[in-house]
Structure 1
Amino acid sequence: MEDYDWENDFDNVEDNTGGDEAGLYSGKNVVLFAIYGGETMHQEDGGEEGKTLFQKAVMAAVDTYKNKIFTAENDMLGVIFFGTTKKVPESADFDNISVISPPSPPTASVIIQLEGLAGDAGKESFRQEYGWDGQVKLHEVLWQCQSLMAGVKGKVASRRILLLTCDADPHRGDQTLNIQARRKASDLHSNNIYLDVIPVLQNIEEFDISVLYSDIMKLADDDWNGINNSLDMLTETVLKKSFVKRSTGRINFSINGVNIGVSVYNMLGKPKRPQRKKMVSNTSDLVRQERSYVHPVDQTPLLPSDINKFMNYGGKDIQMTISDVKHIQSCAIEHNFLRLLGFRDKDSLKLGNYVKIPQFLYPCEDLIKGSNNLFAALLGRCAALNKIAICSYKPRSISGPCYVALLPQPEELDPESNAQVKPPGFHVIWLPFMDDRRALPEVRMKLDNPSDAVEAAREVIRKLKLKKFIPVEDGSLQTVYRTIEAHALNKQSMDPVEDETLPDNERMKRKLGDRSEAFLSKVYDEGYDPAKFKPTKKSKPSSAKPKPAASAASKAAMSEDLDMAALVAAGTVKKLTVDVLKNWLRGQGVAVSNKKKADLVQDVESMFQ
């Protein structure tokens, strides 16, 4: 069973927001950008924007900084340039290396500095301030990165170096420097520092990774499987490399008395607006809020053990301690678990069983040895037999048990690049209780709708149905982010936000063709324009008694009194109602069943031609 990338790289990272082991493996993530600043990086990439390769690499780092501010503000980011003429600052450890920012939380000042280098005057500014004809010694670059990461204080969950370059042979064939670089890469691996090399070239095939970087990557990461990215996807590639997938908890999966270790991941999440924070007006420091409980009589402070809760039952207040309340909430089961109950056909899992966002299950070899083998066997048999596993699940020690379905997902690889598209594992689908179900409101529809109109509507729906879900950005949330960004970076105007939720009318027209016109012609009268249609306003109910409706006999008499020849000559037949037209035609012995108004008008006019 092939391991999933984020499981290998961060298998000791635990989300500090949940799980019974919360905080045990939590910590900040350190990402250091090492960008090659040689002369070849300052050539234009040939794109329409006229940006150099170096500016593309810097903008990828800028986008990562901006993303981390909203998604992981506690992570540490740093940037260094290597291959420069000057050493910045002078106290740096090695020549031809410029430390722009040591690992630190993302700040606006660093973003402004990097955006200046990526601007129109950035090329000349870089040449004057740093220079681009310095010698490259890759082992010194990696040593400088390791030294900067060693200065990070506090608990660190992961450390990663992203090396962006366009030169596949930085040492120009010097085998001594190549051996030193390989030795240093192996040292990074022993210190749990991961190295990723990202080529910055329009044509990635021009980057011969076998010269040096393939050996370095294999020594720095045992599970490295090659490079698959392009310059157009540079920013997306950097964001993926700097993103850490955290497990929300590790749990024992009991299979008929045999336990295996699994990790639970949240594959989707709902983004929220940044919360407002109170700050001191003169210093802009965050206001720290503290809550304390005091005795209502003597105002002495109370400890948590001095506070009890109560519940009113039968007219009496039943006193309970905090531990009693937690015991009730956990349903008297103090530990979390996942227990297999049986199997069902995959078709029994209906779309209407959706309760909340599913989770993802992946084996955890560190928790119990041999978990990968048994998990892979269970996954393979469920996928082959088209079955789902029904389990009882208690994700937290303080939560109640529930029932879930484990939906198998076999591994999927890209046929061209052999890269992993979907990881192997189980989707955890929450099953509803009876209280989660509700009766749908009854929708009454006409049963005598014309069959051709119904078929035309089905064709429209079939063509407009999405075959693949394409996620879109929340326009209102992006507007908030852009407003905060413009204020923090002292921008005069805010970058425009494209509303991706609006429908693509041009694409809809291409897919529908003439089907929409066919549907309108089957349902509405000829010449109907929905833009000009105005719904009739409902009249207010009056106290007067409603007038009795005209009987069928009176309607027929009214139709017979019409001077239809004069109406045809005046061209006002279309203004008559359908009932009047049908009654008049029936009197003339003409069949009127299953005919629309346009057909009735045509029958009337043909009788006077």
Structure 2
Amino acid sequence: MAPYDDWNRTEDDDEEELQDSSLYEGKRDVVLFCIDCSPSMYEMREDDRFEDVQTCGLMLALESAMQIMKRKVLVGPNDAVGIMLFNTTKRNESGEAGADIKKGTYVYQPIATIDAPKVMELVRLIDEARENPDVLRETFPPMTEGRVPVGDVFTSCNWVMRDGAPKTATKRIFFITDEDNPHPGAKNARLMTSARTTLFDLMQAGVTVEPFFIGTDEKPFDPTKFYSSVLLPTNITELDEITDDGPAPMLPESISITRVEELLDQMRFHEVPKRALFSVPFTFAPGLTIGVKGYGLITEQKKGAYRYFADLGDRVEPVISRTAYVDEERDAEADKTEILYGMDLGAPSVEGEDGEDAKESEVGTRAVALGSRVFYTAEEVRSFRTLGLEPGIKLLGFKPRSELAFEDNVKHSIFIYPDEMSYSGSKRTFTALLRTMIKKKKIAIVLALTRRNSSPIFCAVLPQAEKVEESGWREPPGFHLIPLPFADDIRAAPDLKGFRASEDLRDIAGQWIHKLKVKNGSYPPDSYPNPALAYHNAQLEASAFREDFDPEAFEDLTMPKYDMMHKRAGQLMREWKTALLEDETANVVSAPTAGRKRKAADTDEPPVDEDEIRRLHDSGQLRKLRVEDLKQFLRSKGLPVSGKKDDLVQRTEEYCDAHPRA
């Protein structure tokens, strides 16, 4: 297995630990929208969102691209987006970007960093198309005879990516079409093979194709006619390798789109690229090494960092800040290689009243004896942290799966997947290990060092089998890298037992809970963005594109749909609340611990018994009791003792009325 030397590109000065996502967030993302312009994409139909407004497949695709570009202006200002159309007679002029691509393809917007003018140009085109549907047909005339081979489309995408995308970026193609059988007839098999071959070339260049198929009720999209055979065998996930022998599964139906909301929802899932946190070798034994990539499954999306700008008169330029160490004696920037690191061996020196340092004999830093070395170079400090190890994962052994306890997962796990580009044969070896560990119900113990400046840590490797839901939701096959805690990372939890509800009460609660379950049994987090972050981005978007921002029009998708909840389970919840009030186990309140309560003052008077309290209640003289007596009585009945004396008296009266003497 030949190693790939450039597998770790982390800068030496990066102080990044295992859970640091700065590399994940800093890598650029390049998206090329590849949109079909065949005549069927121009067929007008009613827009479900607006009354008396028509739309078409091409307008739907362009609007989706515009929405994605708007969001990336805010969340990924360094990302790049381009738009390429195929099955159109429009050609790029000589000297323009895309002039040398295949015939029948046209680069509308070359790949470039997103900016507001480019997005506003696309907005103007969409607005004109809404008023005059023929604008799109006139701007991008469709091919009336034949279609561009899908292989040529992928080849053009490869050339556009090659010319405009940085080598280190995450490169993806959003392929949008409404034709499920682009090459009917005898040439289908040959053109299918050609498309599969060119798609493999895209994959070798690090480009991923994300398909979005547009279908209607009159013309549903059937991926099995062409694209299932083209996309799946060369897909980066290689489903046919991981799954059991037999026919490869078909593309999920969720990628077949009928409305613009569905297209935007699907693109929202694919909008954030799968950027690897690290790429390191996985060593099984001496001479047996594969390459793996690590992916963070949970990443918090935050507001973009503010930036400083300098007003240069005719233009405004962003200010680039950097940190530099200056040698005061030479009044020049110090060489990083000459900086030494150490630790103070005493209290720092303090200044006296006259501004001079106090005597070292009184307060100051201890002097270092000659021959003693307490300062270290940056390379030596790095070796202390890494224990002299190079980034990688080393297999130490295996344990039964039952040995992995729930409390061992104290940090977010990292999902690792084979990296065929760094070590040939990685996927085949990775798959064999995965299947064997699942079959034998084993976990692996490894020593992992994922960054040059991080510390090695022991981890458990938990295998995960592939799982495909009927809804199209898919859990990929791979391993979870779980950092194991140290002994002092785990604290013994107090063993507290609460009151248990009765079986009848649980059954009644289960009825309305079942009615309010999430559709398809899975919660899609990408469909419910952080409302505070979304509100912030909406204001920035309106400012960037010179639009009016209406706070009332902002929709918080995380707000519960109360009307729908009451319509589905309102009656069941009312019945449950009635049963809850009548159930004795639900009316028991545990007495609060008195450890933090202030002890009552010592008194020679004995506590008032219950008979005396009931006698005073019957005569309406409960206010004659002391506050401590009232609290003692309420505490013995499991009732709260908070509030003023009037609250305690009222609570005591309610209890006596509800529980008369036997």
Q: CA deviation at 1:377?
A: 3.3
Q: Match of 1:403, SS?
A: strand
Q: CA deviation at 1:428?
A: 1.1
Q: Match of 1:56, SS?
A: helix
Q: Percent identity?
A: 21
The residue aligned with 1:485 is: 541
Q: Deviations over 1:10-64 (max 9, x none)?
A: xx998868899x99xx975543223233443233455622542222211221233
Which residue of 59, 82, 96 corresponds with 1:55? 59
Contact 2:111–2:165 (Cα < 8 Å) also in 1:
no
Letter of the aligned partner of 1:433 in structure 2? F
The residue aligned with 1:278 is: 308
Partners of 2:230 and 2:392 lie apart in 1 by: 42
The residue aligned with 2:640 is: none
Contact 1:45–1:51 (Cα < 8 Å) also in 2:
yes
Partners of 1:312 and 1:148 lie apart in 2 by: 57
Sort the Cα spacing of 1:444 and 1:428 in 2 relative to 1 into closer, same or farther, 3 A.
closer
The residue aligned with 2:216 is: 202
The residue aligned with 1:151 is: 163
Which residue of 156, 163, 176 corresponds with 1:164? 176
Q: Flag the structure with more relative contact order, 1 or 2, with Cα contacts below 8 A and sequence separation at least 6.
A: 2
Q: CA deviation at 1:599?
A: 9.1
The residue aligned with 2:590 is: none
Sort the Cα spacing of 1:86 and 1:372 in 2 relative to 1 into closer, same or farther, 3 A.
closer
Letter of the aligned partner of 2:34 in structure 1? A
Sort the Cα spacing of 1:365 and 1:129 in 2 relative to 1 into closer, same or farther, 3 A.
closer
1:230 and 2:259 are equivalent in the alignment: no
The residue aligned with 1:302 is: 334
Which residue of 574, 580, 598 corresponds with 1:519? 580
Q: CA deviation at 1:458?
A: 10
Q: Match of 1:335, SS?
A: coil
Partners of 1:61 and 1:196 lie apart in 2 by: 14
Q: Match of 1:356, SS?
A: coil
The residue aligned with 2:33 is: 33
The residue aligned with 2:383 is: 327
Partners of 1:127 and 1:562 lie apart in 2 by: 85
Partners of 1:423 and 1:155 lie apart in 2 by: 26
1:111 and 2:119 are equivalent in the alignment: yes
Q: How does 1:594-605 map to 2 (within 5 A)?
A: 601=657, 604=660
Partners of 1:557 and 1:199 lie apart in 2 by: 80
Q: How does 1:444-593 map to 2 (within 5 A)?
A: 456=505, 470-471=524-525, 472-494=528-550, 496-503=553-560, 505=562, 507=565, 509-510=569-570, 512=573, 514-522=575-583, 551-552=607-608, 556-557=611-612, 559-560=614-615
Q: CA deviation at 1:491?
A: 1.4
Which residue of 54, 68, 87 corresponds with 2:72? 68
Sort the Cα spacing of 1:154 and 1:264 in 2 relative to 1 into closer, same or farther, 3 A.
closer
Q: Match of 1:552, SS?
A: coil
Q: Match of 2:59, SS?
A: helix
The residue aligned with 1:586 is: none
Task: Mark the runs of 5 or more structure 2 residues left unpaired by the alignment.
Answer: 1-5, 240-247, 347-365, 369-373, 588-597, 622-629, 638-651
Partners of 2:328 and 2:463 lie apart in 1 by: 57
Q: Which one is further off, 148-157 or 374-383? A: 148-157
Number of matched pairs: 547
Contact 1:260–1:374 (Cα < 8 Å) also in 2:
no
1:250 and 2:279 are equivalent in the alignment: yes
Q: Match of 2:437, SS?
A: helix
Q: CA deviation at 1:101?
A: 0.9
1:364 and 2:376 are equivalent in the alignment: no
Which residue of 490, 504, 522 corresponds with 1:437? 490
Q: Match of 1:311, SS?
A: coil
The residue aligned with 1:130 is: 139
Q: Match of 1:320, SS?
A: coil
Sort the Cα spacing of 1:401 and 1:112 in 2 relative to 1 into closer, same or farther, 3 A.
same
Q: CA deviation at 1:210?
A: 7.1
The residue aligned with 1:535 is: none
Letter of the aligned partner of 1:431 in structure 2? L
Q: Deviations over 1:150-193 (max 9, x none)?
A: 43275355655444222456689796x99789758745644646
The residue aligned with 2:295 is: 265
Letter of the aligned partner of 1:293 in structure 2? Y
Q: Which one is further off, 426-435 or 316-325? A: 316-325
Q: Deviations over 1:545-594 (max 9, x none)?
A: 798877336x6356457767x99xxxxxxxx99969x99xxxxxxxxxxx
Letter of the aligned partner of 2:80 in structure 1? M
Q: CA deviation at 1:279?
A: 0.9
Partners of 2:296 and 2:78 lie apart in 1 by: 20
Letter of the aligned partner of 1:515 in structure 2? W
Contact 1:196–1:217 (Cα < 8 Å) also in 2:
no
* TM-score using structure 1 length: 0.72
Q: Match of 2:68, SS?
A: helix
Task: Mark the runs of 5 or more structure 1 residues left unpaired by the alignment.
Answer: 1-11, 527-540, 568-575, 584-595
Contact 1:80–1:97 (Cα < 8 Å) also in 2:
yes
Contact 2:84–2:106 (Cα < 8 Å) also in 1:
yes
Q: CA deviation at 1:293?
A: 2.6
Partners of 2:300 and 2:475 lie apart in 1 by: 21
Sort the Cα spacing of 1:494 and 1:104 in 2 relative to 1 into closer, same or farther, 3 A.
farther
Q: Match of 1:59, SS?
A: helix
Partners of 1:525 and 1:376 lie apart in 2 by: 52
Contact 1:38–1:84 (Cα < 8 Å) also in 2:
yes
Q: Match of 1:473, SS?
A: coil
Sort the Cα spacing of 1:492 and 1:27 in 2 relative to 1 into closer, same or farther, 3 A.
closer
Q: Deviations over 1:332-391 (max 9, x none)?
A: x23123233343443443333332211012233444444434433332233233332222
Contact 2:155–2:198 (Cα < 8 Å) also in 1:
no
What value does the CA root-mean-square deviation take over the aligned residues? 5.0
Letter of the aligned partner of 1:130 in structure 2? T
* TM-score using structure 2 length: 0.67
